[in-house]
Amino acid sequence: MPKKLVKKLLSFIPGKPAVTAKKRYTLKVIPRDQHCISRKDISEPAKKVLNRLNNAGYDAYLVGGGVRDLLLGQHPKDFDIATNATPEEVNQLFRNSRLIGRRFRIVHVLFGREVIEVTTFRGGQVEQEETDTERAVNEHGHLVRDNVYGSKEEDALRRDFTVNALYYCIRDFTVHDYADGVRDLEARQLRLIGDPETRYREDPVRMLRAIRFAAKLDFAIAEESAAPIPELAGLLEHIPPARLFEEILKLFGAGYGEKTYVQMQHYGLFGALFPTTQAALDQGEEDDIIRQALRNTDERIHQGKSVTPYFLFAALLWPALKREWQRLEDNGEATYPALQLAAHRVIDRQVRSIAIPRRFSVPMKEIWEMQPRLTRRQGKRAEMLVEHPRFRAAYDFLLVREAAGEHTEGLGEWWTQYQQQNDGERRKMTSQVANDGQRRRRRRRKPRVDQ
Ligand code: ATP
Ligand code: MG
């Protein structure tokens, strides 16, 4: 039976609410003296874009995270602008701009390192427009193209959360609230606009966005917006892996990674993105290394330090790697070939969900491969290892493993000391390792091949 017909029939069943019933919102215009956004909080480039569009006769507003974060007294990460000018018109108005995107056609206006994202008001109802070539929904109900332009009101109601549908007008300094976003902002709630299930089906990434904003803003997810997530989490499997990679960087790179991870587990979203890690966790591996790495990452971000995605991915996939590595060793493979094969398999499976670029997967694999090498320190080995370009990351990873409770017989401490010593002391340390090794070998009757 066609989906639409099922929906229509369902809406006639007594006691069952009409699936397509629309909530009515009324626009509220909040004057300057009733909100805290001041022009000086908005970046010069964003103001330039707003003013030039307005002066050219178009309507342009600050929207999204920029308005939301300013109303919360926080520093926005970036400024997004919505306008009734088409992408081509915006592109013509700014020499320093470029048209990007297919699913959403948008314009990036570039000012040095700052990028102002300008989108044209979107409109129309997805169901009415399914045949339109500018808007298309695939077999899973996902929007794969969404370039139907509309009014500012339609644009507002097509946004994801009520707190993201607030518009700031630089002409009269008012804030336009279409979906009771200010009320939700005050109640510190994230609420999807419209029917949550439909909105998640249109774009399952909204489930991840819900978790990300809830963690970052310390908001609760409104009950009706949270309820469908566990059941729909699997829809993320249909999202292009390249988009998910970008989303993962935002999820874990905003300084609230550990909190985000806990919530992703709570809603069953983690397993949809990291199926092999989740399988390993379900079989008894611990996730302490993931949490420890995210905790360190959060700390670094709050201290203004840089973070490397390959380090984080090394931790996110470590439980899966460990399990596969162990399985291969149990089947008689030697340590190094087993590790290499396990790494290959884990990465191969993972990139089907999340496209980890090679510039990250190669160093991630190197970090893993260095782990057993860090235990072999005799002769010239330690000296050579410290010179290895990936030594620092591998050593940091070892410390994270230890902090997460893995037993390494004080290996991390040994390397910490080794790095602080002069050449003579270093030689003493390595010969000590050799002696200890000999003593241990004598004690064991059967000699072990590796580590
Ligand atoms: P931040 O930039 O701080 O991560 P943001 O809310 O600005 O948060 P962006 O990804 O920059 O998020 O998107 C800008 C705005 O575009 C959002 O506030 C929202 O209104 C709208 N938007 C973005 N992605 C979606 C989506 N998947 N579905 C519906 N609306 C979206
Ligand atoms: Mg933004």
Q: Note the ligand closest to the C-alpha atom of 67.
A: 1
Q: Whose CA is nearest to atom 3 of ligand 1?
A: 65
Task: Report the residue among 164, 177, 192 best suited for mutation to probe ligand 1: largest number of ligand atoms under 8 A from its CB.
Answer: 164
Note the pLDDT of residue 282.
Answer: 97
How many degrees, rounded to 5, is the angle at CA 412 between CA 411 and CA 415? Answer: 90
Distances (CA, A) of 267 to 43, 68, 202, 217, 278: 36, 25, 19, 18, 13
Cβ–ligand 1 distance for 243 under 6 Å, the answer no
Is there a domain that residue 142 lies in?
Answer: yes
> Could you identify the atom of ligand 1 that is nearest to the CA of residue 64?
18
- Residue 401 near residue 289 (C-beta atoms within 8 A): yes
33 is catalytic: no
- Residue 46 near residue 116 (C-beta atoms within 8 A): yes
Any alpha helices (H) in 333-410, and if so which ranges? 335-350, 358-373, 381-387, 391-403
- Residue 150 near residue 122 (C-beta atoms within 8 A): yes
Q: Note the ligand closest to the C-alpha atom of 61.
A: 1
Short-list 199, 203, 164, CA closest to 185: 164
80 is catalytic: yes
Is there a domain that residue 292 lies in?
Answer: no
End-to-end CA distance of the chain: 62
Amino acid (1-letter code) at residue 409 = E
C-alpha–C-alpha distance, residues 119 and 81, integer Å:
6
262 Cα–ligand 2 center, Å: 24
66 Cα–ligand 2 center, Å: 6
Tokens representing residue 409 in the block: 């017989």
Note the pLDDT of residue 146.
Answer: 64
C-alpha–C-alpha distance, residues 37 and 32, integer Å:
8
> Could you identify the atom of ligand 1 that is nearest to the CA of residue 119?
16
Is there a domain that residue 214 lies in?
Answer: no
Cβ–ligand 1 distance for 255 under 6 Å, the answer no
- Distance from the Cα of residue 135 to its chain's centroid: 26
Q: Whose CA is nearest to atom 25 of ligand 1?
A: 160
Please give the backbone phi and psi of residue 261, each rounded to the nearest 5 degrees, phi first: -60, -45
Tokens representing residue 390 in the block: 């990936």
- Residue 369 near residue 314 (C-beta atoms within 8 A): no
Q: Whose CA is nearest to atom 13 of ligand 1?
A: 64
Is there a domain that residue 336 lies in?
Answer: no
193 Cα–ligand 1 center, Å: 13
Full domain range(s) for residue 174: 3-196
Note the pLDDT of residue 432.
Answer: 84
Q: Note the ligand closest to the C-alpha atom of 75.
A: 1
Tokens representing residue 2 in the block: 């066609």
Short-list 232, 151, 224, 155, CA closest to 184: 224
Is there a domain that residue 299 lies in?
Answer: no
Tokens representing residue 34 in the block: 């009733």
Tell me which of 80, 195, 203, 287 is the catalytic residue. Answer: 80
- Residue 146 near residue 53 (C-beta atoms within 8 A): no
CATH of the domain at 40: 3.30.460.10
Is there a domain that residue 418 lies in?
Answer: no
C-alpha–C-alpha distance, residues 273 and 351, integer Å:
10
Q: Whose CA is nearest to atom 8 of ligand 1?
A: 65
C-alpha–C-alpha distance, residues 72 and 242, integer Å:
32
> Could you identify the atom of ligand 1 that is nearest to the CA of residue 254?
4
Q: Helix, strand, coil: what percent of the chain each, to 5? A: 55, 10, 35
Is there a domain that residue 118 lies in?
Answer: yes
Tens of pLDDT, residue by residue, the chain (451 residues):
455 444 444 444 443 333 334 567 899 999 999 999 999 999 999 999 999 999 999 999 999 999 999 999 999 989 999 999 999 999 999 999 999 987 678 999 999 999 999 999 998 654 433 444 555 666 666 665 666 889 999 999 999 999 999 999 999 999 999 999 999 999 999 999 999 999 999 999 999 999 999 999 999 999 999 999 999 999 999 999 999 999 999 999 999 999 999 999 999 999 999 999 999 999 999 999 999 999 999 999 999 998 999 999 999 999 999 999 999 999 999 999 999 999 999 999 999 999 999 999 999 999 999 999 999 888 788 888 988 999 999 999 999 999 999 999 889 998 999 889 888 888 888 888 777 766 665 655 454 544 4
Note the pLDDT of residue 143.
Answer: 63
76 Cα–ligand 2 center, Å: 8
Note the pLDDT of residue 11.
Answer: 40
Task: Report the residue among 107, 115, 120, 159 best suited for mutation to probe ligand 1: largest number of ligand atoms under 8 A from its CB.
Answer: 159
116 Cα–ligand 2 center, Å: 9
35 Cα–ligand 2 center, Å: 20
Q: Note the ligand closest to the C-alpha atom of 250.
A: 1
Note the pLDDT of residue 7.
Answer: 47
Sign of the torsion angle spanned by Cα atoms 81, 244, 203, 278: negative
Distances (CA, A) of 154 to 168, 178, 286, 302: 16, 10, 47, 37
Tell me which of 69, 146, 155, 160 is the catalytic residue. Answer: 160
Note the pLDDT of residue 397.
Answer: 96
Q: Whose CA is nearest to atom 6 of ligand 1?
A: 65
Is there a domain that residue 82 lies in?
Answer: yes
Short-list 299, 308, 277, CA closest to 290: 277
- Residue 231 near residue 284 (C-beta atoms within 8 A): no
Short-list 450, 442, 313, CA closest to 368: 313
C-alpha–C-alpha distance, residues 182 and 178, integer Å:
9
59 is catalytic: no
C-alpha–C-alpha distance, residues 150 and 122, integer Å:
5
Q: How many residues does the chain have?
A: 451
Tokens representing residue 343 in the block: 């790494």
Sign of the torsion angle spanned by Cα atoms 224, 164, 296, 204: positive
315 Cα–ligand 2 center, Å: 28
C-alpha–C-alpha distance, residues 84 and 118, integer Å:
10
Cβ–ligand 1 distance for 339 under 6 Å, the answer no
Cβ–ligand 1 distance for 184 under 6 Å, the answer no
Tokens 């390192």 -> residue: 113
Parallel/antiparallel/unpaired status of strands 28-30 and 175-177 = antiparallel
Report the number of distinct structural domains present in the chain: 1
Tokens representing residue 60 in the block: 């342009």
